[in-house]
Amino acid sequence: MATTAPTVVPFSSTSSSTFQWNVFLSFRGEDTRDNFTSHLYAALVREGIQTFKDDEGLRKGELISKALEKAIKGSKISIIIFSRNYANSRWCLNELALIMEFWKKNGQKVIPVFLKGVDQLDVQHQKESFGEAFGEHEKNFDPETVERWRSTLRAAAQLSGWSSSDFRSLLPLR
């Protein structure tokens, strides 16, 4: 499932004019912004890959939800970084729902990354921290919203992805 080593796909910075970004990063900021995500972002940018990360790609004064929707729609690939607390965030779950909508409608590439301590099956079946998060969401949100989040999380976790340990040999450190 998530055990094969990833390959680097070269991108041209002048690729198709319909895309503003090559990669959109979806992540729980509290969990990964200052560690895994910042290192992945730096490695992608170093390789010339136009990458959207919310603290780098948002212009001051923009409405966050509209800017994120535009960035997701304008990206060739979305990388979803599943950390233990990803599902705690309604922002992450709404972002994921939008990513999976573009995946389904437009065939956008979606690559899940399962960080250390996150099992792909726990994400898919909403167990462990993912199950706990949905227990809280069921108390605070309407059933339709929670079911939409659950189904998009299941769909994303079924995609072939990477374990964060696979990244050790992905890009050379400089």
Q: Residues with catalytic annotation?
A: 95
Angstrom distance (rounded) from CA 49 to CA 167: 16
CB atoms within 10 A of CB 122: 19
> Which residues are 75's β-sheet partners?
21
**DSSP one-letter string for 141-160:** S-HHHHHHHHHHHHHHHTS-
Task: With CA atoms as reference, report the closest residue to 112 among 77, 72, 162, 71.
Answer: 162
Q: How far is CA 99 from the centre of its chain?
A: 8
